[in-house]
Amino acid sequence: MNAVVALAPSLRRAGGRDTRVTTALSVTAFAVSTALTLSVVGGLMGFAARAADPATAVERELGMLYVQLAWTALILLVVPLLTLAGSAARMGVARRDARLATLRLLGATPREVVALTLVETCAQGLVGAVVGVVGYVALLPLWALVPFQGGTFTVGELWVGPLGVVLAVVAVPLLAAVSGAVSLRRVVVSPLGVARRTTPPGLRVVRVVVLAVALVGFAVVTAFGGRLAAALVAVLLGFLAAGFGALNLVGPWVLGLLGRSQARRARTPVRLLAARRLADDPRGAWRVVGGLGLAGFVAGALAVLPTFTSGGGDDPLVDVLNADLVTGAMLTLVIAFVLAAVSAGIAQASTVLDRRREYALAHLAGTPVELLDAVRRREVLGPMVRVAGGSALVAVVMLMPLFKTAAFADLRGPLLLVGCLVGGCLLVLAATETSRPLLRSVLAEPVVRAD
């Protein structure tokens, strides 16, 4: 084995408590994303199996529609799932930067530095995937209680099979390795790359153009393509995925703009610090609130659902479909919110550890802990409210051509939307508060030398 790569276990142990905390957080994030991905894929496979071999009228008549809806849910959740896994991979890297840059200065090659990181990140991904599979198996009885198609799924129907498990155990470490390698670019390019922080380059306007094209495309196709409904489903799903992907591209750009704007107008230290941090690292902020942004997108779509489902009439099949649409949407939303909350909690804990020296010195100089807490809270809360609301608005705009103004004829829609957003925001806020004790413990550690 290469001498530098052989150092991996020693370097990990040398990291002390920080390394143990970040490793635990990374493994948790990988585990949650693995468990939920397998759950969603299991549901999709369950619907597909029923559609292929229908046993009831609902499965025979509407089986393929359910499969398409399950695909939609998967598309809605794939970005937050990937974001969470990506955050997990990046988290350890931030703390490893200094050590790895030192290795570069000592003469380690870029390939050796990358290999060292991949060994650590892959191992975390592997452990997370295994824990995630166990979590998925534990959740199966719970998913089997959820009513769909006039009954419930059996555990066997939601089981992804040995192949699915093997794929997850292989794919998650690979994904972790790719994310980790991308995050290491700065170290690889220059050993001094992480030693100095400068004004970050702006994110390009082209991201807005991508989102605009996806939005307009979706609206045009839904408005004028009614007669080709069956053929258009795939196109619509494609545009939905593009809109979603574009939202992930535009999110950091908008947050950067928001941060700079707020920093100019800030009148208090808390507002100024929170705004500067947002402007400094909009991608990092997006990793925290992006999941909720995408959940907001789901909630926006959900807002028009009561109108869609109110026309059941006497057809029992339509009644079942309507009930399942609400159940499926709520399930998707709950999973998205949970992902967002886990993402936010883990990212905040990681931020506290990454900024421990800044926090500690600011505290020594008399900065009250309450102010540090307020900044930490505001860092999440400000972007979160805007991102969740903005994403919901985007979803409503995209779906408006489909449902016209009738979408808001029924007040249940907007109420559900507001309720979901408030609930989601509170959940994420609660998750970020879990890093509060960590901040206290970081500040309690002596940063002074016994000199």
Partner 1 sequence: MSTPALGGAAPVVDGAAGPARLSARGLVKRFGETVALAGVDVDLADGESLAVMGPSGSGKSTLLHCLAGILVPEAGTVALRGRPVHVLDERERSLLRRTSYGFVFQNGQLLPELPAVENVALPAMLQGTSRRDATDLAVRWLAAFGLAGLEGRRPGELSGGQAQRVAVARALVTQPDVVFADEPTGALDQTNGHEVMRLLTEATRSVGACLVVVTHDPQVAAWCGRRIEVRDGRVVDERRTA
Binding piece for partner 1, criterion CB under 8 A, among 170-178, 196-204, 384-392, 403-411: 196-204
151 contributes a contact to partner 1 by CB under 8 A: no
**Between residues 227 and 267, which has the closer beta carbon with respect to partner 1?**
267
E strand or H helix at 28: helix 16-52
Stretch that binds partner 1, among 9-17, 197-205, 387-395, 434-442 (CB under 8 A): 197-205
Instruction: Report CA Rg, the chain.
Output: 23
CA atoms within 13 A on the CB side of 43: 30
Q: Is 449 in the site for partner 1 (CB under 8 A)?
A: yes
Within 124-143, the residues that bind partner 1 by CB under 8 A are: none
Taking the C-alpha atoms of residue 16 and residue 269, their distance in angstroms, rounded to an integer, is 33
CB of 87 to partner 1, least distance (A): 20
Bridge partners of 147, per DSSP, are: 152
Look up residue 320 and give its two tokens. 């079942």
Write the CA distances from 356 to 126, 302, 315, 363, integer angstroms: 28, 41, 61, 10
| Residue nearer to partner 1 on the CB measure, 192 or 422 | 192
Nearer to partner 1, 12 or 356 (CB): 356
Distance CA 271, CA 266 (A): 5
Among 196, 227, 314, 411, binds partner 1 (CB under 8 A): 196
Nearer Cβ to partner 1 (195/223): 195
Q: Single out the residue of 99, 186, 276, 283 in contact with partner 1 (rule: CB under 8 A).
A: 276
- What residues from 213 to 272 belong to the interface with partner 1 (CB under 8 A)? 266-269, 272
End-to-end CA separation in angstroms for the chain:
41
According to the binding rule CB under 8 A, does residue 201 interact with partner 1?
no
- DSSP letter string over 385-443? HHHHHHHHHHHHHHHHHHHGGGGGTSTHHHHHHHHHHHHHHHHHHHHHHTTHHHHHHHH
How many distinct helices (H) and strands (E) make up the chain? 17, 2
Query: CB–CB of 428/342 below 8 Å?
Result: no
Report the C-alpha gap between 234 and 404 in whole angstroms.
Answer: 22
- Is residue 368 a contact residue for partner 1 (CB under 8 A)? yes
Contacting residue, 58, 76, 273, 392, with partner 1 by CB under 8 A: 273
Nearer residue to partner 1 within complex by CB, 216 or 364? 364
- Tokens read off for 417: 């939307």
Q: Give whichever of 141 and 368 is closer to partner 1, judged by the CB atom.
A: 368
Longest dimension (CA), the chain: 83
User: Which residues are within 8 A (CB) of 424 and not within 5 positions of it... i.e. 6 or more apart?
Assistant: 292, 295, 296, 299, 333, 336, 337, 340, 388
Task: Return the number of the residue (197 or 227) whose C-beta is nearest partner 1.
Answer: 197
Q: Between residues 279 and 431, which has the closer beta carbon with respect to partner 1?
A: 279
Is 93:183 a contact under the CB 8 Å cutoff? yes
Question: Residue count at the site for partner 1 (CB under 8 A)?
Answer: 32
CA distances from 68 to 78, 220, 228, 233, 310 (A): 15, 20, 16, 8, 21
CB of 383 to partner 1, least distance (A): 15
Q: Does 363 bind partner 1 (CB under 8 A)?
A: yes
Q: How large is the angle between the packed helices 110-143 and 161-183, nearest 10 degrees? A: 140
- List Cβ neighbours of 246 (8 Å cut-off, separation of 6 or more): 207, 210, 211, 213, 214
Of 271 and 386, the one with the shorter C-beta distance to partner 1 is: 271
Residue from 358, 409, 426, 430 in contact with partner 1 (CB under 8 A): 358
Binding mask 279-318 for partner 1 (x = CB under 8 A): xxx-------------------------------------
Which C-beta is closer to partner 1: that of 95 or that of 412? 95
* Interface residue with partner 1, options 102, 152, 310, 367 (CB under 8 A): 367
For position 174 contacting partner 1 by CB under 8 A, the verdict is: no
Contact window for partner 1 (CB under 8 A) among 58-66, 175-183, 195-203, 241-249: 195-203
The residues binding partner 1 (CB under 8 A) are 196-199, 266-269, 272-273, 276-277, 279-281, 357-358, 361-369, 371, 446, 448-451
